[in-house]
Amino acid sequence: MSDLASVQGASAVEMSGVNKWFGSFHVLRDIDLTVKRGERIVICGPSGSGKSTLIRCINRLEEHQEGRIIVDGVELTSDLRSIDAIRADVGMVFQQFNLFPHLTILENCTLAQIWVRRRPKAQAEEIAMKYLTRVRIPEQANKYPAQLSGGQQQRVAIARALCMNPKIMLFDEPTSALDPEMIKEVLDTIRGLAEDGMTMLIVTHEMSFARQVADRIIFMDEGQIIEINRPEEFFAHPKHERTKRFLSQILD
Amino acid sequence: MSAAFVREQTLPPRAAPFAATGAKAWVMQRLFATPRDIAMTVIGFAAFVLIAMPLIRFLFLDAVWRGENRDACAHVLTGACWPFVAAKFNQFIYGFYPLDQLWRPNIVFALGAVLLVPLAIPSAPLKRLNALLFFVVYPVVSFVLLTGGNLNPEHFILGYVIRLEDHVDFVWHGMRAAFWLDYAFSSLALSLAVALIGRVFGTPISTALKVMVGFFALLALLIAPTDADFGLSWVETREWGGLLVTLVVAVTGIVAALPIGILLALGRRSEMRLVRWASVAFIEFWRGVPLITVLFFATYMLPLFLPGGANIERLVRALIGVALFSGAYMAEVVRGGLAAVPKGQYESAAALGLGYWQTMLLIILPQALTNVIPGIVNNFIGLFKDTTLVQIVAILDLLGQIRSAFSDPNWASPTTLYTGFAFAGAIYFAFCFAMSRYSLFLERRAGASQLRMETNRT
Ligand SMILES: Nc1ncnc2c1ncn2[C@@H]1O[C@H](COP(=O)(O)OP(=O)(O)OP(=O)(O)O)[C@@H](O)[C@H]1O
Ligand SMILES: [Mg+2]
C-alpha cells in the first residue's frame, strides 16, 4: 500500500466550487478542497456543519448540485457506471458500522470482492483473512456481527473496506458510537493505515488523534470550510474566531 | 471505620434457586397458585368438558365406522357417518379424475412431498438443486402428469405469418418440426431485434445475444416436455377436483405470490416514477377487488373481451387470477419488511460498489423477508383457505366436492352433512396448522439474526 503514496501526479480528490442544498437548506457552500495522494485529512466542526455531507459527496452517497468533484482523476457525474467504479475504489467506514447482520464476518468481507471485484471465492476469503488479521480479529471470522463488541465490529467494517483495495478511505466519526475503552483499538487501526500511506479523510472529534495523524485539519461551520491548517498551527494558533471558540469548547 | 470498601474475596457464581420440581409442584404452581388461578382452572376445565366432550362423542364415541350405504347411519343422530367419507374418498381427493389414471396425481402428491420436505429443513443439503427441482422441474412434471401433456402448440410467432405446417409435416415423439422451426427462427429474430435495440443503450451486441438466446433455450427446455408425447391420455381439468384442485390452486398461488410480491414491492419503492405508479396502481387494483369478483371476471367476462381468451382453460384462468391477487397482497407484506431495513444497510452496500439488484438480492431482501416471515405465512394460510372460492366458478375443490356429495340420496342420513364438513375442516386445519407451526419454527430460527439486527442498530 505504501506504493500508493509514491504515485505522485493527479490529486486523490479535487473539489471546486461545490454547493449542495437539502431542499432550501444550503448545506455545502462553495467548497474548494484538494487532497493529495497519501494525504491524511481530519475534518472537524460543530454538529450539523456539513462534515458528513462533505465526505459523502466524495463517493456519491450524496449528490452535489453545483461545482466539480474529481476523484482519482474521474469526475463524478450522473453516469451510473462511473459511480459504481468510484465507489469500489473509495472505502467508507460509518459511525454505526453498518455491517450486514445476516452474514458472518468473513462473508461481510468477501461479498463485495466476489460480486464487484469478481474475485473467485477462495481468493476473496484469503484476502479477507489477511485484512481481518491486520485488524487483529481473524479468530472471529465465522461469527455474526452481533456477537462482536462495538470496537470489533468497527474493525471488521474497516477490514471490509480494505478488502476492496481502495485508493481512498473515508471515515465518518468512526469512534462516536463506541464505549470509551474501545475507541483506542479502532483509532490504533486507523493510525496503522495512516502509517502505510493510505489517503484518508476522517471526520472525528478525537482531537489528540487528529493532532498525531493529520497532515491537515479542516474546520467546518455552517456548510463552509472556515480554516485549513497543519495540526500544530491549528491547535496552537487558530486563525479564525469560530475555530478558537470551537477549540475552547471541545478542549475545555 | 472508613467508608471505603475493598472486596477481598471474589465470589464464585452460584446456581439459581429453583422452586420445587415434580408433577405435584407443577400442578400447584401452574393451576392452583392463587385464587384467580384456581378460578381460571375451573372455568377452563368446564369449557373443555362443554365443548370438547360433545365433539369427541360425535367424532369417535357415537360415530358409525362401517357400512355400505345410508342404512348404516340412518338411525344415528349424534355420531359421524364415516362410511360416507370412505365411500366418497376418491372423489374428495381427486374429483372425477379417471380411476385407472389415479397413479398420476399420486406421483404428483408424492413427488411434491419428497421435494418439499428437504426444502423445508434448513440443515438439509443441496438446497440450490432442491429449489431448482421444486420450483422449476416439479411444476413441468406435474403439468405433464396431470394433464397428459402432448400439447402440440400450433404457432410460436412467425408461424402466424408463414404457415410452415403446410410444408413441413415431420413429427418426432409428438413434437412437430413445424412448430419448433417456427420457435427457433422466431426466437433468433427476437434475440437479434432486442440486441440491436440494446446497442442503442450501450449494451454490447454479443452480451445481449447470449442472454436472449440463453433465455429462449431455457424456455424451450420447459416447453418441450409439455409438447412431447409420453403416451399419457389427456385428462381435462374439468375432471380434476377435490384436494387435488385445492392443492394445485394453493401451491400455484403460494409459489407465484412471493416473486410477484417482491417485484411489486420493489417497484413501489423505485425511483422511476412510471414503475412506481404502475406498481401502486396494480397493487391497489387487486387489493380493492374481492377475490370472488376476480374469479368471476376471469372466468365469465374475460372471454368476452379477449378473442383468444376463450381458448384458455377455466382452471388456468382462475390460477392466473389467484396468483395476481395473492401477489398484490404479498407486495404489501414485503414492503413492510423493506421499510424495516435500516438506511445504513443501503449506504454501506452502495459504498462497496454493489449495484441495485446486487444490493437488493444479497443485502436487503434476505433481511426484509426474515423480518416478515409471520406476515408471509399468514398470507399463505389466508390464500389456502380462500382457494375454496373457486367453487363460485364451478371448479370443484375439496369443499366443493364434499358439498356436491351431500346430494347423493344413497348417503342421505341425519349426520352426513356434519361428517363431511368435519372431514373438510380437519384437512384444512392440518395444512394451515402445519404452515403456522413451520412459520413459528422459522421465526425462532431467525430469532438469533433478529437479535443481531437489533444490536447492530444501537
Ligand atoms: N438527507 C437530509 N435531508 C435534509 N437535511 C439533511 C439531510 N442530511 C443532513 N441534513 C442536514 O444537513 C446538515 C448537515 O448535516 P451533516 O450530517 O453533514 O452534519 P455533520 O457536520 O456531519 O453533523 P454531525 O456532527 O451531527 O454528524 C444538518 O443540519 C442536517 O440536519
Ligand atoms: Mg455527521
State the Cα–Cα distance between residues B282 and B33, nearest whole angstrom: 56
**Tell me: the pLDDT tens digits for B109-152?**
999 999 999 999 988 888 889 999 999 999 999 999 999 988 88
Between chains, do B453 and A101 touch, taking CB under 8 Å as contact? yes
Question: Does residue A176's CB lie within 6 angstroms of at least one atom of ligand 1?
Answer: no
B169 plus B199 within the same structural domain = yes
Residues B309 and B284 in one domain: yes
Q: Is B243 in the same domain as B294?
A: yes
Q: Are residues B184 and B278 in the same domain?
A: no
**Chain A closest-CA separation from residue B237 CA (Å):** 44
Beta strand A216-221 pairing with A199-203: unpaired
Cα dihedral B327, B331, B334, B336, rounded to 10, equals: -150
Residues written for chain B: 458
On whether both B286 and B201 belong to a single domain, the answer is no
- Asked whether residue B295 is assigned to any structural domain, the reply reads yes
Q: Which residues of A50-79 are buried (b: 16+ CB within 10 A; e: fewer)?
A: bbbbbbbbbbbbbebeebebbbbeeebeee
B98: alpha, beta or left? (left if phi > 0; alpha if psi -120 to 50) = beta
Which of A49, A64, A65 has most ligand 1 atoms within 8 Å of its beta carbon, as the pocket-test mutant? A49
Residue with cell 405470490: B257
Closest-CA residue of A relative to B455 is A146
pLDDT per residue over B218-238, tens digit each? 999 999 999 889 989 999 888
- Residue A17, classed as helix, strand or coil, is strand
Residue where a domain terminates, one of B352, B370, B395: B395
The grid coordinates of residue B348 equal 454501506
A22 lines ligand 1 (CB under 6 A): yes
Q: How far is CA B422 from the centre of its chain?
A: 24
Domain boundary among B11, B35, B61: B61
AA identity, residue B143: F
Residue B372 is part of a domain; what is its CATH number? 1.10.3720.10
A80: pLDDT strictly greater than 80: no
B112 lies in a domain?
Answer: no
Amino acid occupying residue A133: T
More confident residue, B263 or B313: B263
| B352 domain residue, yes or no | yes
In a shared domain, residues B52 and B176? no
Mean pLDDT of chain B: 88
pLDDT band at residue B350 using 50, 70 and 90 as cut-offs: very high
Radius of gyration from C-alpha coordinates of chain B: 29
Q: Which atom of ligand 1 is nearest to the CA of A220?
A: 21
Does residue B439 form part of some domain? no
Q: Does some domain include residue B117?
A: no
For the segment B153-193, what is each residue's pLDDT rounded down to a tens digit? Answer: 888 888 788 877 777 788 888 888 888 998 999 999 999 99
Q: Which residues in B have their CB inside 8 Å of a CB on A?
A: 342, 344-345, 347-355, 358, 362-363, 366-367, 370, 448-449, 451-457
> B344: nearest CA in chain A?
A98
Query: Picking from A45-54, B257-266, B438-447, which range would have the lowest pLDDT averaged per residue?
Result: B438-447
Pair A128, A180: CB distance under 8 Å: no
The three cell numbers locating residue B25:
409442584
Q: Strand A66-71 relative to strand A224-229: parallel, antiparallel, unpaired?
A: unpaired
Number of domains in chain B: 3
ipTM over 0.85 threshold: yes
Q: Are residues B225 and B256 in the same domain?
A: no
Which of chain B's residues have a Cβ under 8 Å away from the Cβ of A147? 452
All residues at 6 or more sequence positions from B21 whose CB lies less than 8 Å from its CB, including other chains: none
Hey, what's the cell of A245? 471558540
From the DSSP assignment, how many helices (H) and strands (E) are in chain A? 10, 10
- B224 plus B277 within the same structural domain: no
- And the C-alpha cell for B156? 410460436
Q: How confident is the model at residue A92 (pLDDT cuts 50, 70, 90)?
A: very high
pLDDT digits (tens, 9 = 90+) for B41-55: 999 999 989 998 889
Residues B211, B246 within the same domain: no
A124/chain B closest Cα distance in angstroms: 14
pLDDT of residue B457: 44
- Indicate if the pLDDT at residue B452 is higher than 70: no
For A191-216, write each residue's pLDDT tens digit.
Answer: 999 999 999 999 999 999 999 999 99
Q: Is residue B51 part of a domain?
A: yes
% residues pLDDT > 70 (chain B): 94
Residue identified by cell 364415516 is: B82
Backbone φ and ψ of B378, nearest 5°: -55, -45
- Angstrom distance (rounded) from CA B183 to CA B180: 5
When pLDDT is cut at 50, 70 and 90, the band that residue B77 belongs to is confident
| Burial class of A30 by CB neighbour count within 10 A (0 to 12, 13 to 18, 19+) | middle
pLDDT beyond 90 at B245: yes
Q: What is the mean pLDDT of residues A144-172?
A: 95
The CA B298 to ligand 2 mean position distance, Å, reads 55
Alpha-carbon span A148 to A145, nearest angstrom: 6
Looking at the structure, do residues B261 and B379 belong to the same domain, yes or no? yes
Q: Are residues B178 and B246 in the same domain?
A: no
**Of the residues B203, B229, B255, the one at which a domain ends:** B229
In a domain, B411, yes or no: no
B154 located within any domain: yes
Residue B15, pLDDT above cutoff 80: no
Phi-psi region of B289 (alpha: psi -120 to 50; beta: other; left: phi over 0): beta
Strand-strand pairing, A40-44 and A199-203? parallel
Residues B190 and B318 in one domain: no
Q: Which domain holds residue B52?
A: 22-61
Question: Ligand 1 centroid vs A54 CA: distance in angstroms?
Answer: 10
